[in-house]
Amino acid sequence: MDSVIRGNSIVREAHFFLDGVLTDPSLPRITIRDPLGVAQVTDATPTRIGTGIYQYTYAVGLNALTGTWTSEWSGVISGNPLGPTTDDVFGVLPVGATPPSPTYTYDLGTSIGVVRLLIDDRDLSSVDPLTPLEQRSAIFSDSEIEEFLSLSANDVLRASAKGLVTIAGNRSLLVQSRRVGKAELDYGSVRKDLMTQAEALITQSISQPADGYVEQVWDDFSLRRLITNTQLRQNAG
């Protein structure tokens, strides 16, 4: 869970999908509630970052209640109302508090490890919290990947797609994900590649039968076998 100290700002982000594809909703809105459930922001209009990706920056007051806050997102796609969601939460800490340091692990016996493998975020050689975020070798912390999993009902394919879409929609993350020995980088091409990967993962998730979820993933080989078996099932159907 993200956290912010009183008197600072925090960015909330939502991704809107239609049939697994990022889609701009009409009337995108966000409501932010404090730990008592009182709305401190009501039906505010977020900023469009990219197709289906919206952000809202909330300035937390110095007298704001500490505890767990909730961001509720809503919108309308093809005439169908979406939300309000209630799973986007963040913590408000008192002045002087030290936010918990992010953790980074890569273990293929966990869903976090599988997501790291699928989005190629496996380099944990430089993840010291004192290192500036854009200079860390890993793009996402464990808690951020946990959030992707939570938003995806623990579906590693959809969670991985959310991670790729997040990278594609953020220029600083694009730089972090594509460290190359060049003075310039074709951001448009990188974004396109990431979105293509995300779309493929979502398509696979949609078409994957229920019994595919019971296959265990212990290492790179068994993950590839799981993907291969899923594709064989699809072709057989």
Domains and CATH numbers, the chain: 2-93 (2.60.40.1930), 111-236 (no CATH)
Residue-level pLDDT at 27: 92
Residue-level pLDDT at 35: 94
What is the pTM assigned to this prediction?
A: 0.50
Residue-level pLDDT at 133: 64
Residue-level pLDDT at 32: 95
Q: How far apart, in Å, are the Cα atoms of 170 and each of 134, 176, 177, 228?
A: 11, 10, 10, 31
What string of pLDDT tens digits covers the 237 residues of the chain? Answer: 678 889 999 988 888 877 767 788 999 999 999 999 999 999 999 999 888 888 899 999 999 999 999 999 999 988 888 877 767 888 899 988 776 678 899 999 999 999 999 988 998 988 876 666 667 788 888 988 998 898 888 889 888 988 888 877 665 565 555 554 444 445 566 677 777 777 777 777 776 654 443 333 334 444 455 445 544 544 544
Residue-level pLDDT at 195: 78
